[in-house]
Amino acid sequence: MFFPFSWILALLRFESNPLDCFFQGIVGACGISVLCSLTRVYYFTQMRSKTESNEKTLSLRSPLTAHWRSLVHFWALTGLLSFVGSRVSSLIVLEFSLRAISAFMSTQLDSDSRGFQLLLIQSQFSLGCSITCTLYFLHQGAPHSSFSLSLAAALSWALSGFCSSLWNHVSRLYALHSTERYCGKCITLLASGHTLLTSLKRLVVLVFSVAAVASLATVYDHFLSQKEALKFWTPLTLCYSMLVVYNQEDQQRQMGAEALLHTVVVRLGALLVLMLTVGYWSDVLHVLITFLGEAICLLSSRDLLQIILEEEEEEPNMRKYGQSSSSRKRDYTSKTLSKNS
């Protein structure tokens, strides 16, 4: 009689204290929020036309619906990251690290290339998984883990709030303040805003480097601790690596958010088959939750994807008709980001 209910509880079980998982989810969601806010600040400050009038700038104030949409997005990611276990999070981190290394080796990405910018946008949910996985590894068995994680969540909340307020300030008043030169934030962004994307690149690489160590330790403890497991995992790892490299090359040939969603479906579908083979039913549920989180992150970043893809499409036309590429990019970016504000 109670078998279905107990089976559902077994699927929804937490690997550690539910309060610790909740704090880890908050820290991961804050990391995603910081990345999104600073990325939008970079594009807005670099492409925004500085010749707009004060009246047009003040008309870009964020509506109330955008505020509630960001809150729903944040708490949805918090809940999803809280449920995803360390086993699946570790595999997600290692898979994204493999994709990034493959992209760097095949295309020699730099911080200004289209491929790197797309990779940075795709790393949102993987970044959240890397943070939760690292926190789980560092606090595993700690006597006061809840207190430490609560402090980390508070600091992450403060940092996320600062970056969100910076984006709101820039989207409303950057054109005015950068012209009048009396706002410290806008003057700083005007002088050194072009280095923001490079700084984000280094920060993301650092986070994934630390998470890769924690992920390797977690994967070894849960999947490779037995002698026979290594013989079973070796062909699976090789097949999955070939699939990741193929998806990376296929993504470079295609464009659009639909192509990115298709890549997510293929990647996580392969991971789902892998968990059906060697994992638990809870791991299968966590993979499905991961797909939902990836979809939420990509759909909420459609404005950034449109900017990058539109720049790629318009550059040949600009050269052909002799138009000013910088003014066209600034106008398009301002219109696209103001919709998301």
- Picking from 27, 15, 21, the residue whose alpha carbon sits closest to that of residue 145 is 21
Q: What is the mean pLDDT of the chain?
A: 76
Q: Residue 58 is encoded by which pair of tokens? A: 């003040």
Query: CB neighbours of 56 closer than 8 A, spacing ≥ 6?
Result: 175
Query: CB neighbours of 86 closer than 8 A, spacing ≥ 6?
Result: 15, 132, 133, 136, 137, 218
Would the pLDDT of 15 be above 80? no
Burial class of residue 337 in the structure, from the number of CB atoms within 10 Å of its CB (0-12 exposed, 13-18 middle, 19+ buried): buried
Is the residue at 2 inside a domain? no
pLDDT digits (tens, 9 = 90+) for 85-100: 888 899 899 888 888 8
Query: What per-residue confidence (pLDDT) applies to 204?
Result: 93
- Picking from 119, 36, 132, 130, the residue whose alpha carbon sits closest to that of residue 79 is 132
Is the residue at 133 inside a domain? yes
Is the residue at 7 inside a domain? no
Would the pLDDT of 297 be above 50? yes
pLDDT digits (tens, 9 = 90+) for 189-222: 888 888 888 899 899 999 999 999 998 888 888 7
Is the residue at 286 inside a domain? yes
Mapped to the 3 state alphabet, what secondary structure does 119-136 carry? HHHHCHHHHHHHHHHHHH
- Picking from 296, 269, 241, 284, the residue whose alpha carbon sits closest to that of residue 128 is 296
Query: What per-residue confidence (pLDDT) applies to 143?
Result: 83
Dihedral angle, C-alpha 134, 139, 140, 142, nearest 10 °: 170
The total number of structural domains that make up the chain:
1
Query: What per-residue confidence (pLDDT) applies to 193?
Result: 80
Is the residue at 3 inside a domain? no
First to last CA, the chain: 51
Would the pLDDT of 237 be above 80? no
Would the pLDDT of 79 be above 70? yes
The owner of tokens 């908050």 is 26
Which ranges in 12-113 belong to alpha helices (H)? 18-47, 54-58, 64-83, 86-107
Is the residue at 308 inside a domain? yes
DSSP classification of residue 181: T
Range of the domain at 101: 15-340
User: Is 177 in contact with 97 (CB distance < 8 Å)?
Assistant: no
Give the angle 46-51-56 at the CA atoms, nearest 5°.
Answer: 100
pTM for this model (two decimals): 0.82
For residues 249-265, one letter each, b for 16 or more C-beta atoms within 10 angstroms of the residue's C-beta and e for the rest, the string is eebeeebeeebbeebbe
Q: Residue 173 is encoded by which pair of tokens? A: 């008043």
Would the pLDDT of 335 be above 70? no
Would the pLDDT of 50 be above 70? no
Query: What per-residue confidence (pLDDT) applies to 29?
Result: 95
User: Can you give the length of the chain in residues?
Assistant: 341
Count H helices and E strands in the chain, helices first. 15, 0
Is the residue at 93 inside a domain? yes
Q: Residue 77 is encoded by which pair of tokens? A: 């990611």
User: Is 12 in contact with 72 (CB distance < 8 Å)?
Assistant: no
Is the residue at 98 inside a domain? yes
